[in-house]
Each structure stands twice: as C-alpha cells, then as structure tokens.
Structure 1
C-alpha cells in the first residue's frame, strides 16, 4: 500500500513538472500570447537555451519561431522583438506602455534605487532628469561649448601615435587602438564633466588617477557580468548570487569619488570657472533650484554620462577602424574625401563633419553592422498590450534585437557586406523607419546621440587625415564579437600606422 502511494505521488509530481514545462504551449493557444520554444523548465524557464552572445542566440530562436517571441527568463516574462514592424509598434502605439525600465540589481545599486536617468520609471522624476539631460547637458549649444575639449584631446591622441615606440624601417609602428580609443574617450568625458584628464602618460599616476582607473575597470567588469539573480531570485535568497555585494561596494566607491569632485568644484569655483565643466553648470543651477539639482542628482547624472558615453563611443571607433582596414577601398575613399574637403593645411574640426558625407556613411554602416548596443536597453510594460496581434502581459521585459534587425537580409540588400554607399540612397527612406536603431527609439532613446556622433566622427577623421593605416599582417582583422556591457571585439584591435602629411603634422 505504501509503495503504491509512493508511485502515485511520484507520477503526480512528474505530471505536474511536465505541465509546468509545457505550460507556455497552452498559454499561447488559449490567451494568444506570442510564440515560444515549447519547453520552459521550472524555475529557470528558457534560460537553458542561452549562450553568449545573447543577441545571436535570440536571433537564432527568432528565425525558428518568429520575430515576436515571449520567453521566460526565470521568473520574468520577456518579449523579444526582431523585426522593424514589431519594433515600430512597440515604440509608437505602445511607447508609453513600454516607457518603464525593469527593476534589475544594477539599477538598484548603481542607479540610486532606480532614480537615475537610465533606471528611473516613467513619471515626473524621469521627465525632470530627461529635461536636465537634453537642455542643460546634451543640447546642441552645450555640446558645442565643449568642442575645444574634444579637439585638444584628439590632439593628445595624435601626438601619442606620433611619439609611440616600435617604429620600423618603413616608418610604420604598431598601435593598440582599443586602449587608445578608450582612454581618449574617458579623458573627453571627464574633462567635460570635471575638467581633469585621468589617462595621461606625462604627469604619471597619482592616487586620484589610480582610484579613477580602478573604479572604471570595476564598473565595466561588474556591469557587464550576467546577473542570474535578476531572473532567478531564489539564488539571491540562498546567498548563491555574489554580484549584489560587488555592486553595492562599487557604488560606494563611485559615489565617494564623484562627491569629492563636486566638493572640489564647489569650494574653488570662481566666476570664470562658472560654466567651464558640467559639474560647474549643474552647481550653478543648484543655487536657484536645490531640489532638482541636489548632489545626488548631479552624481547620478555624471555617472550615467561617464558609463554610457565612454565604452560605447570607443567600441564604435574600434569597429569602424576594423571594418576600414578589412575594406581598404573604403578607407581610400574616406581619405580622399578628407583631403579634398579639408586638405593638409589644418586639422579637421567639428565644423567640417557635415562636409564629409562618405565618412558619415562609414559611421552609419558601422553602427548597422556592429551596434555596440546589439540589444537595446531593456524596457518593461506598465500594462498589458498587443504587439503584432499578440497579447503581451503587464510587467514583461522588452528586448529589441537591433543587431538582428540591422542584419536582416529581408530588409538590407547584401546585409552582411560593409557598403557605406548604401546610405547615400537611404536618407528619407529607410532611416527613421525602425530598420536602424543604434541609439534606441521613443521616449527612452539615448539623448547623447549628437555628442557621440560628433566625437566618433572627429576621431576617425583625424586619424585618417594624419596617418596611413594598415593591418598588422596579411590576415584580415578578426571581427568576432566578445561579451560585455557593450558589444566589444573579441580580439582588441592592433594596427599599423605612419604619418602621411608632414605639413599637416606641423600643427600637432
């Protein structure tokens, strides 16, 4: 009798687990949810399917089940969108519904309890922060105000490449472009934020510089790590998720560093210094509006600027140079355009960029093929809605696979080829029609697009103008993707360069 009860219990348990595993099939049919892989395991859902990089895994699943999917990431329902039409529906008809952010641990600790621009839910606080970002920090006027900072830092980069060691008989020297781009962007951002360079071979490594570099390294290491506890909370409850402690400790370091910088500017501010950095600008606004410009808001805004504006732009430059080195005809065309429009009597500057349409096409094609945000920053539905005729539950995390959309052969001719010329025919046609979304879209689109495109264009134009470039050897540059907070190259770019215009470099 006891044995029979045991086997009955075992059978019922098995049937229950089987029902849980195949529950998505019944829900799809009965409630008109989007399609989903049939087997969703208890506790982990569809997480068992995933391999890095995530955008490639999701693209393969979408090819099998369709461009609108409803997956289960542990305890979280996740809507995955991989077509322009579905993305358009999410960011137009349902833009307000999807204007929230999911409450992930990174937002809890690095985002001041979900109150910074990136992590704040849609509402009054977010609108206030968005206004500060677009009007006071990233407006065209403000971006132009810091043009000299960008120009000076690019001069430092050119001098670094000119004076580096390892020159060969043919005049070429090997340079680590990944490090050069990242350090240049970190300097640009911190000079803009606080008026200081932290990557500087001339003045050595002070305690403050070492502290900054440590914080930056930890930020990208921790933020880029997969936090399984966001999707399987039981791992946090039983202490198996170690990332939360790292996030908490990191934020203390970030907070203290940025507050020290704020106090330094507050204590030594002069009338001349009043608008010389973004911290000075925000401290001036704080005098008349202390509630909307308190120190925590300033710290949070500056941390968002540094994190979002450094690695993304540096990685875009690295991908762009890699594509140009693998496509020397495109590099020749970009160089010829710069020589024709600017010449060798002076260095390229911000005002020249609109007169370099081929270079702009190179940047757009780089963003299409190698978007550093292959999955747009996650959104979350505030209420139930419909996408593509399917029901989407309230609280679903939205992932838009920009990488898949921008490489879709149904949308792009020769989708896998690097063809900057395609953008000469696309203005007013495909651009803006949800086939290109490197900076996101809708209310939560990136407000730093203007600044990012300026600095990326200026760096690339300056390096092409000042140097001849070659691959390190006859092999093509490895274009494999790595994993991280953005989409880094698996193999950092090392290339060879030599000065190409003696009269031009006299101005450096």
Structure 2
C-alpha cells in the first residue's frame, strides 16, 4: 500500500513542480508590471487625470513597455518609438482590432462603424469607402473650392472685426465654425455658420452641442468598461446619457439623409455629390449593406474626427505663435517670399512653405489632438520588445509620452519648429504619430493637412497678431478627449500693410 501512495505523491509533486516552472517561465516573459495590483480593481487606483501624463510618468519609472491590470482588462502601455513601430509593423494585423468599450459606442455609434469595427471584411470595406470614395485625392480636389471659400469668409470676418474697432477675436469659435462649415458642406451641402439663414444657424448650434456632448462623454471616465460588475449593480449613468445622445444624433442625421433623398432626381447631374449623396447612390445597389444606420454612423465619425481636432490644433498653433513672435515673423517672411502679396495662400502652396509645415508638425508634437491613440486589442498572442503579449490584451500607445520623451527629442518641452527642417510629411519615423500608424491610422490625414496649411497660412499672411496683454498666452491643457486648451485663446489682429490691396478686394 505504501509504494502506490509514494508513487502517486511523487508524480503529483513532479506535476505541480513542472506546472509551477512553466507558469513562472511564462510570467517572467510578460512585460513588466507595477506592484501591487489590487484584487478586483488591479491598477485602477493609479490612474488620475490627465491620463496621458499619468501613464507617461509610470512608463518613465517602470519602462516604455508596461503591463497594467485595469479591472478585468489586461492593458499594454507603449511609450517608445521602437515599441510603437513593432506594434504597427510586425504586429499590425494582430493589433488591428478594437476592444469592446462604451468609449467605442460614443465615438462610433456602434461597433460596426469605421472607427470601432472589428478587423475583418466589414472594416476593410468601410476603410475602402473612406479612402477611395470619400477622402481620396480626387474627392478632396472636388471640394477644394469649399475650403477656399470658407477660408476667405474667415478672413472677411476677421477684417470686419478689425474695421469695426473690435480687434480681439476668440479663435476657438472662429476655427470651430470654419471646420464645421467645411465638413458639413462636404457631407450634406449645408453651411451653418456665418450666413444669413437663422434657421440653418440654429440647426448648426444644435449639432455643435451634440458634438460637444459626444466629446465630453467620450472623455469621461467609465469604470464600467473595466469593472462590469458595477454596470450589473445598476451604475448606468453614462449609458443612459449615451442612449439619449444617440437618439438625438440619429434624428439629426436621419433628417439630413431624408432631405437629400427627397431632392434626388431634381439636382443638376453635373453637380458634385455630397458625401451623403454618394453613400445614398451606393445604397441603391447594396441596400442591405448601406443602410441609413450605417450612413448615419459613417458621417458622424467623419464629423467628429475632422472638426474638433483640426480646430483645436489651429488654436494651439496660434497660441504658440503669439508666445513666440519671432516664429510668426519668420513664417510671414516665408509666405511673402514664396507667395507674394497679390494672392492668398492655396493648398497647392503648402509643399513650398516648409517652415509653415515645421510649425504645424511641432504643434502636433507638443499638443497632439489624440494624446492617447485610439485603443487596439490583440487578436492573438504576439511578442513586443521581447515580451509575450497574450491574446485579448488592450494596447494603448501613449503618443504624448513619445512626443515629450527627452530620450527621443532634444529639449522636448521647448517650441522649436526648426527641429523638423528637412522632414517630409508629418512623420519622423515613429517618433511623431499625430495621425496614428498602420492599418487603423486616420484616413482623414490628407484633409486635415490641407485645412491646417491653407487656413493658418492665410491668416498669418493677411494679419499681424498680438497677445491681448503683456502676459504670455496660458498654455494649460483642459480636460477632454482631444486635449483642448483650458482657457480659449483670445487674440488681437490687424491687417498687414503689405496686404492692403488684396484685402480691399475681398
């Protein structure tokens, strides 16, 4: 009796020892983590706003590849160019998925939208529509006159303010109305702000409020995404707000769709199609795929991604230029030399204005519109930086940390556009990621670059800008998904003497 007992005990000990060694070996190849990870909540106790700064401090202390347990979610925090490159090149397909979160519903309406759709045939088709049908170079060229007209209307508005003796301008509202007008005219043909139609302006204000609410909700902390038990226990405040917001957005966008559907057949055949009209034409051939719900979701993502982000970046650019007047003067000199004083800056001029591009790149480095890239999720086990990353791990790339890393950039907190001289485009390897990278990078990059370049170039060309006081512009970051300024920029402007003749003709 004793022999079988000893044999069984020995076998069990060997089994447990083997399992222990295997588990220990496996855990030793996982990315480093932080002690302690508390029961149930994990590392949630470490997170404080603003999240990108908190995560940057943790990565600076514990390493650029960091594993956190946020409630029930395993999360990989990446804060170095080399690790980001590995995620978006060798592991690009693995990380092409999105995690299921309430955040995704807020931004993308549902999990089948362009922003949040799982990686697969549906996402590839949505991406194709965005890249080829909606945001291709050909389509952007078709809408060129809209961007030109809205930029000139902004200049006229600023000129009118100067002539009336009110030289102080709240830049946030001016930029926001410009970007919303551009996007809505491209999407539905409507111009909401700055016209003489009170009904349209009121409709635009309602939409702007919905868009603001979308970003506020998206930026709110939702512990239920990490601790589902709270939702089961009835803590559903954010979900209730989302349902009401979705209902308002559905009514608004369905109204746009119905109006354009009714006008179909009466419009000029040679007239270019708006984005909704193009999607409605695709609906005729594939009605089961191009449903009204799909169109509503699609245009919401385009508006959310293309308006607030561009307007916010323009505000940061002007804030930096007011605090660094020598940079503003250098940009004006470049425009005067290349363009002259007889015409306004155009989108086609941007490649010939490298210093203006340097200013934009440096602003995107210091104040990226998405300090944390939209989360990804590993669809299978993979390796990042020599560490094993299990399937289902959520990936957060902290581009703010990369952009402010003293190991990557000389004097990273200093505004120095000259650091980008000689760089083509908006990237410097994986050191600069303002539009993400890989399969799920922003498809609207081309539109954003055009709008930023022409708008900023035009107002720099036409006006001299000053601060409203001797004090430097407050550069404090406010709460929100797209890193807005805490205090909206108010600036003084006056027409440049060199541009008097051209401005008098506008």
TM over 0.5: yes
2: CA distance, partners of 1:30 / 1:268: 62
Residues 446-492 of structure 1, C-alpha deviations (whole Å, 9 max, x = no match): 01000001001111011101111011111111111111021111111
Aligned residue in 1 for 2:59:
62
Correspondence 1:196 to 2:194: no
Is 1:241 equivalent to 2:236 in the alignment? yes
Q: By how many angstroms is 1:221 displaced?
A: 2.1
Residue 221 (1) aligns with residue 221 (2): no
CA distance in 1, matches of 2:411, 2:106: 43
Deviations 1:179-205 (A, max 9, x none): 111111111110110011222363335
The match for 1:444 is 440
SS in 2 for 1:164: helix
CA contact (8 A) 2:107 2:214 kept: no
Mapping for residues 468-507 of structure 1, pairs under 5 Å: 468-500=464-496, 501-507=499-505
Report the alpha carbon displacement of residue 165 of structure 1 after superposing the two structures with TM: 7.2
- Residue 127 of structure 2 corresponds to 130
Q: Per-residue deviation at 1:103?
A: 0.5
1:59–1:404 contact (8 Å) kept in structure 2? yes
Match of 2:93 in 1: 96
> How many residues align structurally?
479
Q: CA deviation at 1:255?
A: 1.3
Q: Does 1:79 align with 2:76?
A: yes
Report the Cα offset of residue 411 of structure 1.
1.5
Give per-residue Cα distances to partners, 1:387-439, cap 9 Å, x unaligned: 111111211110101111112121212222211112124449x9452111110
Residues 507 and 73 of structure 1, relative CA distance in 2, 3 Å threshold: farther
Shift of the alpha carbon at 1:214?
3.0
Change (3 A) 1:176 1:108: closer
Give the conservation status (yes or no) of the 8 Å contact 1:81–1:87.
yes
Partner of 1:145: 142
- Structure 1 residues 125 and 435: CA distance shift in structure 2, 3 A: same
Bigger CA drift: 292-301 or 135-144? 292-301
1:414 aligns with 2:408: no
Cα 1:114–1:28 shift into 2, 3 Å: farther
How many angstroms does 1:27 deviate by?
7.0
Paired residues of 1:166 and 1:174 also in contact (CA < 8 A) = no
CA RMSD of aligned residues (A): 2.0
1:57-82 C-alpha deviation (Å, 9 max, x unpaired): 00100011000000111111110000
Q: 1:299 aligns with which of 292, 296, 301?
A: 296
Equivalent pair of 1:107/1:114 in contact (CA under 8 Å): yes
Match of 2:157 among 136, 160, 166: 160
> Cα gap change, 1:118/1:86 in structure 2, threshold over 3 Å: closer, same or farther?
same
Alignment counterpart, residue 245 of structure 2, candidates 241, 245, 250: 250
Matches within 5 A, 1:354-503: 354-427=351-424, 431-500=427-496, 501-503=499-501
Sort the Cα spacing of 1:53 and 1:260 in 2 relative to 1 into closer, same or farther, 3 A.
same
Against the structure 1 CA distance between its residues 27 and 256, is the aligned structure 2 distance closer, same or farther, given a 3 Å change threshold?
A: farther
TM-score normalised over the length of structure 1: 0.90
Is 2:162–2:494's contact at 8 Å kept on the other side of the alignment? no
* 1:256-405 equivalence runs, <5 A: 256-269=251-264, 270-272=267-269, 275-405=272-402
**Structure-2 change in CA distance of 1:426 and 1:214 (3 Å):** closer
2:227 aligned with 1:232: yes
Relative distance call for 1:28 and 1:156 in structure 2 (3 A) is farther
For residues 280 and 424 of structure 2, the distance between their equivalents in structure 1, rounded to whole angstroms, comes to 41
Change in 2 beyond 3 A, CA 1:457/1:224: same
Do the aligned residues in 2 keep the contact of 1:198 with 1:213 (CA within 8 Å)? no
2:169 match: 175
* Normalised TM-score (structure 2): 0.90
Q: Does structure 1 conserve the Cα–Cα contact (< 8 Å) formed by 2:142 and 2:272?
A: no
Paired with 1:166 and 1:222, the residues of 2 have a C-alpha distance of: 40
Q: Which runs of 5+ in 2 are unaligned?
A: 1-22
CA contact (8 A) 1:27 1:33 kept: no
* 275 and 295 in structure 1: CA distance in 2 versus 1, 3 angstrom threshold: farther
Tell me by how many angstroms 1:228 deviates.
Answer: 1.7
SS in 2 for 1:103: coil
Deviation at 1:92, TM superposition (A): 0.9
Instruction: For 2:221 and 2:163, locate their aligned partners in 1 and report how far apart those are by CA, in whole Å.
Output: 38
Q: CA deviation at 1:306?
A: 0.4
CA contact (8 A) 1:326 1:477 kept: yes
Alignment partners' CA distance in 2, 1:218 and 1:164: 30
Secondary structure, aligned partner of 2:273:
coil
Q: CA 1:110 to 1:425, structure 2 compared with 1: closer, same or farther past 3 Å?
A: closer
Give the secondary structure class of the aligned counterpart of 1:506: helix
